[in-house]
Structure 1
């Protein structure tokens, strides 16, 4: 597991690694071995103490040699805190998504002639593509996007490359979140690598709340129909709703995993994709809906189910859910 993922800065990681390798070093020994000044060393030790990875033998006795907390205990506690924080973040994302979806539904269902002045309805795929081209060329600072649907089609990837290259060459910061399922598609991975080599940032998550494009935090493009992106899109410029959509992106981005980063996971625990599938089933979702949210085939969803059932010794979906609750893989909040 990368210690950086647990919130350790560069100096703290170096200090902690040395203390693991050479326990018992006092402050002078640590400073001499690392070749850093006392202020930097103490700042690193303060960070490690805040994370309960080190402690002082006596309260307030920072001149004493720092002591290592049992690494297994400390790192397990850190992972647990991280999991709790991610669960809280996921709950906030879902709450934001529900509120935003309600607002967008009110706007997108309005008659064609009554669209609010801070929104623009785009009907059909061609109109949406043309508007995206205009937005990318007019963008000054940054473009953020959610790209659900799993592996990207060859046609879409090929069509988007010239515009993406032109946008990135202008110094626009581009951030994209895909579904984890793209990691199993070589063509999608190659396209994502192509983007990152040109300066874009790409991350993945198990599920995404909706398809979305945010431009300069001033405009946002979302589908008219969440279940049918070909119907068209709604371009909104109202400060309140764009701020909400921007906050939703930031929240998802913080919990997403950079492409190419090795995914840290405890072998006995379900993966994030498996966890999302379990949550969907206990909430009454069909395999078709779970597959669409994860961006995978229904066959893959059934394979996930079979694998989980085998690991938990379950013979039905009902029993699988019950055993997942017993194992701590699901909690009461997952049932809502």
Structure 2
């Protein structure tokens, strides 16, 4: 209906027309309603909202001017370098990583425990890493040896390969770690990695950088062969590492997590160790590992 008029009692079945200002009372007879153009009705609804937005903007400007002197005082007396910030959920964590990456000028150190990374995480890492490389920033990343069997991670490493990108692997790693210019560090605060800590305290960040450097010195460049001791009595270097954790009392899930492999692969290795040593039970396997001397065979002389 765009012309004529409508009895008010008939419009009661469509109250939204009145609420939206699409009908207004007939000036000649209050029992009737007349339509108005939708553009005019929309303008009537938007005008108060736009006025409120303008009022809010003016208030924001006034508050900014009011707080500016105090912000300057805070900046001088409470440097942001001494802070620990709790980041909850992926959105806040990703925002903190993006912010630290944008602030970074010369070096990023990262430790990425676990096996091969998912396609989505590698895509994000590639986009973020390429931006960093274009700015001439050096990157050093630690993975676990198990990524050497991940085609996706190897393809990512190949794409990132350049003079200022270095990747090494270790059998075991500390938890995830990111350090930017040795001034900002991010670490997980919960096992599910839905909570992280952003550290800007110089002492904490420097300590974490030293931990990274210690592990980096023991790691193997990605393109080099891992220096496992040769297979002895059918037991490989990886299996010796699993055997060591077994006799320390770790369960399969914990061993898999520490070595960056899935539980199925870990259990397959345990089955091979048991077969090689002739073990018929889990309890007997621990005893046979201790008696076999296979752990001594993997130690440097």
Q: TM-score range by the shorter chain?
A: 0.5 to 0.7
Confirm whether residue 125 of structure 1 aligns to residue 90 of structure 2. Answer: yes
**Unpaired runs of at least 5, structure 2:** 1-80, 297-301
Partner residue of 1:255?
218
> Does the aligned pair in 2 maintain the 1:206–1:272 contact within 8 Å?
no
> Does the aligned pair in 1 maintain the 2:137–2:164 contact within 8 Å?
no
Partner residue of 2:15?
none
> Does the aligned pair in 2 maintain the 1:127–1:232 contact within 8 Å?
no
Match of 2:168 among 203, 217, 220: 203
Larger radius of gyration: 2
**C-alpha separation in 2, matches of 1:263 and 1:133:** 33
| 1:27-46 correspondence to structure 2 within 5 Å | none
Report the CA distance shift for 1:268/1:198 in structure 2 as closer, same or farther (over 3 A): same
Report how far residue 301 of structure 1 moved: 0.8
Partner residue of 1:4?
none
Match of 1:159 among 124, 127, 130: 124
Paired residue secondary structure (2:211): helix
Confirm whether residue 234 of structure 1 aligns to residue 226 of structure 2. Answer: no
**C-alpha separation in 1, matches of 2:210 and 2:232:** 33
Partner residue of 1:50?
none
| 1:177-216 correspondence to structure 2 within 5 Å | 177-197=142-162, 199-216=164-181
> Does the aligned pair in 2 maintain the 1:168–1:198 contact within 8 Å?
no
1:236-265 CA deviation, whole Å, 9 max, x = no partner? 122222122111111111111111112233
**C-alpha separation in 2, matches of 1:271 and 1:132:** 39
Deviates more, 1:280-289 or 1:120-129: 280-289
Paired residue secondary structure (1:235): strand
Partner residue of 2:41?
none
Confirm whether residue 134 of structure 1 aligns to residue 134 of structure 2. Answer: no
TM-score, normalising length: structure 1 = 0.59
Report the CA distance shift for 1:275/1:196 in structure 2 as closer, same or farther (over 3 A): farther
> Does the aligned pair in 2 maintain the 1:178–1:205 contact within 8 Å?
yes
Report how far residue 266 of structure 1 moved: 1.6
| 1:282-293 correspondence to structure 2 within 5 Å | 282-293=247-258
**C-alpha separation in 2, matches of 1:180 and 1:206:** 5
> Does the aligned pair in 1 maintain the 2:96–2:198 contact within 8 Å?
no
**Unpaired runs of at least 5, structure 1:** 1-115, 332-336
1:104-127 CA deviation, whole Å, 9 max, x = no partner? xxxxxxxxxxxx952111111111
> Does the aligned pair in 1 maintain the 2:247–2:289 contact within 8 Å?
no
Confirm whether residue 243 of structure 1 aligns to residue 206 of structure 2. Answer: yes
Match of 1:311 among 273, 276, 282: 276
1:5-44 CA deviation, whole Å, 9 max, x = no partner? xxxxxxxxxxxxxxxxxxxxxxxxxxxxxxxxxxxxxxxx
What is the count of residue pairs matched by the alignment?
215
| 1:12-23 correspondence to structure 2 within 5 Å | none
Report the CA distance shift for 1:147/1:271 in structure 2 as closer, same or farther (over 3 A): farther
Paired residue secondary structure (1:148): coil
Report how far residue 175 of structure 1 moved: 0.6
**C-alpha separation in 1, matches of 2:130 and 2:116:** 20
1:190-245 CA deviation, whole Å, 9 max, x = no partner? 111212246311111122111110111222110111x111x221011222221221
1:260-315 CA deviation, whole Å, 9 max, x = no partner? 11223322185453233223222222111212222222110111101112222322
